[in-house]
Chain A
Amino acid sequence: KAGVTQTPRYLIKTRGQQVTLSCSPISGHRSVSWYQQTPGQGLQFLFEYFSETQRNKGNFPGRFSGRQFSNSRSEMNVSTLELGDSALYLCASMVTVGTDTQYFGPGTRLTVL
Protein backbone atom coordinates (compact mmCIF):
# COMPACT_ATOMS: atom_id res chain seq x y z
CA LYS A 1 0.00 0.00 0.00
CA ALA A 2 1.13 3.50 -0.68
CA GLY A 3 1.86 5.57 2.39
CA VAL A 4 0.46 8.90 3.45
CA THR A 5 1.22 11.57 0.87
CA GLN A 6 1.37 15.29 1.42
CA THR A 7 1.56 18.11 -1.06
CA PRO A 8 3.32 20.35 -1.53
CA ARG A 9 6.50 19.28 0.27
CA TYR A 10 7.86 22.79 0.56
CA LEU A 11 6.14 26.14 0.60
CA ILE A 12 7.29 29.72 1.08
CA LYS A 13 4.74 32.40 1.90
CA THR A 14 4.77 35.92 3.26
CA ARG A 15 3.06 37.26 6.35
CA GLY A 16 -0.63 37.89 5.89
CA GLN A 17 -1.08 35.36 3.11
CA GLN A 18 -3.04 32.17 3.45
CA VAL A 19 -2.00 28.63 2.60
CA THR A 20 -3.66 25.29 1.91
CA LEU A 21 -1.92 21.98 2.50
CA SER A 22 -3.15 18.64 1.24
CA CYS A 23 -2.99 15.12 2.64
CA SER A 24 -3.97 11.79 1.09
CA PRO A 25 -4.26 9.02 3.68
CA ILE A 26 -3.37 5.38 3.25
CA SER A 27 -6.04 3.60 1.24
CA GLY A 28 -8.80 2.42 3.57
CA HIS A 29 -7.87 4.79 6.37
CA ARG A 30 -10.71 7.08 7.26
CA SER A 31 -9.17 9.20 10.01
CA VAL A 32 -6.75 12.01 9.28
CA SER A 33 -4.94 14.01 11.95
CA TRP A 34 -2.77 17.08 11.51
CA TYR A 35 0.23 18.08 13.61
CA GLN A 36 2.55 21.06 13.70
CA GLN A 37 6.23 20.38 14.40
CA THR A 38 8.59 23.15 15.47
CA PRO A 39 11.97 23.05 17.24
CA GLY A 40 10.59 24.98 20.18
CA GLN A 41 7.18 23.39 20.72
CA GLY A 42 7.80 19.93 19.29
CA LEU A 43 4.90 17.98 17.82
CA GLN A 44 1.52 19.49 18.58
CA PHE A 45 -1.89 18.18 17.60
CA LEU A 46 -3.97 20.48 15.42
CA PHE A 47 -7.16 18.52 14.62
CA GLU A 48 -8.55 15.19 13.50
CA TYR A 49 -11.16 14.38 10.87
CA PHE A 50 -13.23 11.29 10.32
CA SER A 51 -16.01 10.87 7.77
CA GLU A 52 -15.76 14.53 6.81
CA THR A 53 -16.32 15.64 10.42
CA GLN A 54 -13.88 17.24 12.80
CA ARG A 55 -13.85 15.02 15.85
CA ASN A 56 -11.07 16.58 17.84
CA LYS A 57 -9.24 19.87 17.97
CA GLY A 58 -6.03 21.07 19.60
CA ASN A 59 -5.24 24.45 21.11
CA PHE A 60 -4.59 26.48 18.00
CA PRO A 61 -6.22 29.76 16.93
CA GLY A 62 -9.11 29.83 14.51
CA ARG A 63 -6.74 30.79 11.70
CA PHE A 64 -6.01 27.09 11.48
CA SER A 65 -8.80 25.12 9.88
CA GLY A 66 -9.26 21.94 7.97
CA ARG A 67 -11.67 19.76 6.13
CA GLN A 68 -12.01 16.23 4.88
CA PHE A 69 -13.53 15.03 1.66
CA SER A 70 -15.66 11.96 0.98
CA ASN A 71 -12.58 10.08 -0.30
CA SER A 72 -10.87 10.75 3.09
CA ARG A 73 -8.38 13.20 1.60
CA SER A 74 -7.89 16.18 3.86
CA GLU A 75 -6.78 19.76 3.57
CA MET A 76 -5.69 22.22 6.18
CA ASN A 77 -5.74 25.95 5.75
CA VAL A 78 -3.89 28.65 7.61
CA SER A 79 -5.11 32.18 7.07
CA THR A 80 -3.32 35.44 7.81
CA LEU A 81 0.05 33.76 8.15
CA GLU A 82 2.42 34.82 10.92
CA LEU A 83 6.16 34.28 11.16
CA GLY A 84 5.54 31.81 13.98
CA ASP A 85 3.54 29.57 11.67
CA SER A 86 6.79 28.46 10.03
CA ALA A 87 6.89 24.76 10.77
CA LEU A 88 6.71 21.24 9.43
CA TYR A 89 3.06 20.29 9.09
CA LEU A 90 2.48 16.58 9.37
CA CYS A 91 -0.54 14.56 8.44
CA ALA A 92 -1.24 11.14 9.92
CA SER A 93 -3.83 8.57 8.96
CA MET A 94 -5.45 5.86 11.03
CA VAL A 95 -7.81 3.01 10.31
CA THR A 96 -9.91 3.83 13.43
CA VAL A 97 -11.21 0.34 13.89
CA GLY A 98 -9.38 -1.74 16.50
CA THR A 99 -6.16 0.26 16.55
CA ASP A 100 -4.74 3.60 17.58
CA THR A 101 -1.80 3.38 15.21
CA GLN A 102 -1.16 6.54 13.27
CA TYR A 103 0.96 6.58 10.14
CA PHE A 104 2.63 9.85 9.28
CA GLY A 105 3.34 11.44 5.94
CA PRO A 106 6.61 13.22 5.10
CA GLY A 107 5.19 16.61 5.96
CA THR A 108 4.98 20.01 4.31
CA ARG A 109 7.71 22.45 5.26
CA LEU A 110 6.12 25.91 5.46
CA THR A 111 8.33 28.97 5.68
CA VAL A 112 6.70 32.31 6.37
CA LEU A 113 8.78 35.38 5.47
Chain B
Amino acid sequence: QQQVKQSPQSLIVQKGGISIINCAYENTAFDYFPWYQQFPGKGPALLIAIRPDVSEKKEGRFTISFNKSAKQFSLHIMDSQPGDSATYFCAASIPGNTGKLIFGQGTTLQVKP
Protein backbone atom coordinates (compact mmCIF):
# COMPACT_ATOMS: atom_id res chain seq x y z
CA GLN B 1 0.00 0.00 0.00
CA GLN B 2 2.96 2.28 0.53
CA GLN B 3 4.35 1.64 -2.92
CA VAL B 4 4.48 3.88 -5.93
CA LYS B 5 4.89 1.96 -9.18
CA GLN B 6 6.64 3.72 -12.04
CA SER B 7 6.88 2.81 -15.70
CA PRO B 8 8.60 2.45 -18.04
CA GLN B 9 11.99 1.65 -16.56
CA SER B 10 13.69 3.24 -19.56
CA LEU B 11 12.58 5.42 -22.42
CA ILE B 12 14.17 6.58 -25.65
CA VAL B 13 12.65 9.57 -27.42
CA GLN B 14 13.69 11.59 -30.43
CA LYS B 15 14.47 15.26 -30.00
CA GLY B 16 11.28 17.28 -30.23
CA GLY B 17 9.10 14.35 -29.20
CA ILE B 18 6.92 13.87 -26.12
CA SER B 19 8.23 11.82 -23.22
CA ILE B 20 5.58 10.23 -21.00
CA ILE B 21 6.30 8.56 -17.67
CA ASN B 22 3.57 6.97 -15.60
CA CYS B 23 3.10 6.26 -11.91
CA ALA B 24 0.42 4.43 -9.99
CA TYR B 25 -0.34 4.21 -6.28
CA GLU B 26 -2.69 2.36 -3.96
CA ASN B 27 -2.77 4.46 -0.81
CA THR B 28 -5.51 7.07 -1.12
CA ALA B 29 -4.03 8.94 1.83
CA PHE B 30 -1.24 10.26 -0.39
CA ASP B 31 -1.80 13.97 -0.93
CA TYR B 32 1.39 15.30 -2.50
CA PHE B 33 2.96 14.00 -5.71
CA PRO B 34 6.28 15.50 -6.83
CA TRP B 35 8.47 14.59 -9.77
CA TYR B 36 12.24 14.74 -9.46
CA GLN B 37 14.97 14.81 -12.12
CA GLN B 38 18.38 13.38 -11.39
CA PHE B 39 21.54 13.67 -13.45
CA PRO B 40 24.50 11.34 -12.87
CA GLY B 41 26.50 12.38 -9.86
CA LYS B 42 23.85 14.82 -8.66
CA GLY B 43 21.04 14.75 -6.16
CA PRO B 44 17.41 14.71 -7.31
CA ALA B 45 16.02 18.12 -8.25
CA LEU B 46 12.33 18.97 -7.94
CA LEU B 47 10.71 19.47 -11.34
CA ILE B 48 7.03 19.90 -10.62
CA ALA B 49 4.51 18.74 -8.02
CA ILE B 50 0.75 18.33 -7.77
CA ARG B 51 -1.96 17.70 -5.17
CA PRO B 52 -5.05 15.51 -5.73
CA ASP B 53 -7.47 18.43 -6.01
CA VAL B 54 -5.92 19.42 -9.35
CA SER B 55 -6.10 17.29 -12.51
CA GLU B 56 -3.29 18.94 -14.41
CA LYS B 57 -0.37 21.26 -13.73
CA LYS B 58 1.96 22.72 -16.31
CA GLU B 59 5.33 24.39 -15.84
CA GLY B 60 7.11 25.19 -19.08
CA ARG B 61 7.58 21.99 -21.06
CA PHE B 62 6.67 19.80 -18.08
CA THR B 63 3.08 18.77 -17.31
CA ILE B 64 1.68 16.51 -14.61
CA SER B 65 -1.62 14.82 -15.36
CA PHE B 66 -3.42 13.42 -12.33
CA ASN B 67 -6.26 10.89 -12.34
CA LYS B 68 -7.54 10.54 -8.80
CA SER B 69 -10.12 7.84 -9.54
CA ALA B 70 -7.55 5.67 -11.30
CA LYS B 71 -4.87 6.48 -8.71
CA GLN B 72 -2.43 7.33 -11.44
CA PHE B 73 -0.36 10.33 -12.40
CA SER B 74 2.02 10.98 -15.22
CA LEU B 75 4.75 13.35 -16.34
CA HIS B 76 4.72 14.67 -19.88
CA ILE B 77 7.83 16.36 -21.28
CA MET B 78 6.95 18.27 -24.40
CA ASP B 79 9.52 19.06 -27.10
CA SER B 80 12.03 16.76 -25.42
CA GLN B 81 15.65 17.88 -25.67
CA PRO B 82 18.96 16.00 -25.32
CA GLY B 83 19.52 18.00 -22.12
CA ASP B 84 16.45 16.30 -20.66
CA SER B 85 18.32 12.99 -20.68
CA ALA B 86 18.28 12.00 -17.01
CA THR B 87 16.55 9.72 -14.54
CA TYR B 88 13.08 10.78 -13.44
CA PHE B 89 11.42 9.77 -10.20
CA CYS B 90 7.83 10.15 -9.14
CA ALA B 91 7.09 10.26 -5.45
CA ALA B 92 4.24 10.57 -2.99
CA SER B 93 3.77 11.54 0.62
CA ILE B 94 1.09 11.29 3.30
CA PRO B 95 0.04 14.33 5.30
CA GLY B 96 1.61 14.24 8.71
CA ASN B 97 4.12 11.61 7.66
CA THR B 98 6.73 14.25 8.01
CA GLY B 99 9.61 14.36 5.62
CA LYS B 100 8.94 10.94 4.13
CA LEU B 101 8.71 10.71 0.37
CA ILE B 102 7.94 7.32 -1.17
CA PHE B 103 9.65 7.10 -4.53
CA GLY B 104 8.96 5.16 -7.67
CA GLN B 105 11.79 3.07 -9.10
CA GLY B 106 12.81 5.67 -11.62
CA THR B 107 12.79 6.04 -15.41
CA THR B 108 15.95 6.60 -17.39
CA LEU B 109 15.17 8.91 -20.28
CA GLN B 110 17.42 9.23 -23.30
CA VAL B 111 16.60 11.91 -25.83
CA LYS B 112 18.31 11.30 -29.16
CA PRO B 113 19.43 14.30 -31.23
- CB 8 Å contact bits of A38-75 with B (1 = contact, 0 = none): 00001111001010000110100000000000000000
* Chain A residues at the B interface, C-beta cutoff of 8 Å: 4, 31-33, 35, 42-45, 48, 50, 55-56, 58, 90, 92, 94, 96, 100-107
With a cutoff of 8 Å between Cβ atoms, the chain B residues found around residue A56 in the complex are: 97-100
A8 nearest CB across to chain B (Å): 14
Give Cα A94–Cα B102 distance, bound, in whole angstroms.
16
Residue in A closest to B100 when the chains form the complex, CB atoms? A45
Q: Which of B41, B100, B105 is close to A58, meaning CB atoms less than 8 Å apart?
A: B100
Is there an interface contact between A101 and B34, defined as CB atoms closer than 8 Å? yes
Give Cα A35–Cα B103 distance, bound, in whole angstroms.
10
Residue in A closest to B95 when the chains form the complex, CB atoms? A100
Interface residue? B17 (CB, 8 A): no
A88 nearest CB across to chain B (Å): 8
Is there an interface contact between A107 and B32, defined as CB atoms closer than 8 Å? no
Is there an interface contact between B43 and A106, defined as CB atoms closer than 8 Å? yes
A78 nearest CB across to chain B (Å): 19
Is there an interface contact between A48 and B98, defined as CB atoms closer than 8 Å? yes
Interface residue? B101 (CB, 8 A): yes
- Which one of A100, A101, A104, A107 has the greatest number of beta carbons of chain B within 10 Å? A100
Is there an interface contact between A48 and B99, defined as CB atoms closer than 8 Å? yes
Give Cα A96–Cα B102 distance, bound, in whole angstroms.
17
Give Cα A78–Cα B76 distance, bound, in whole angstroms.
38
Is there an interface contact between B103 and A43, defined as CB atoms closer than 8 Å? yes
24 example contacts (A-B, Cβ-Cβ < 8 A) are as follows A33-B99, A33-B101, A35-B101, A42-B103, A42-B105, A43-B89, A43-B91, A43-B106, A50-B99, A55-B98, A56-B97, A56-B98, A56-B99, A90-B43, A92-B43, A92-B101, A100-B34, A101-B34, A101-B46, A101-B49, A102-B99, A103-B46, A104-B43, A105-B43
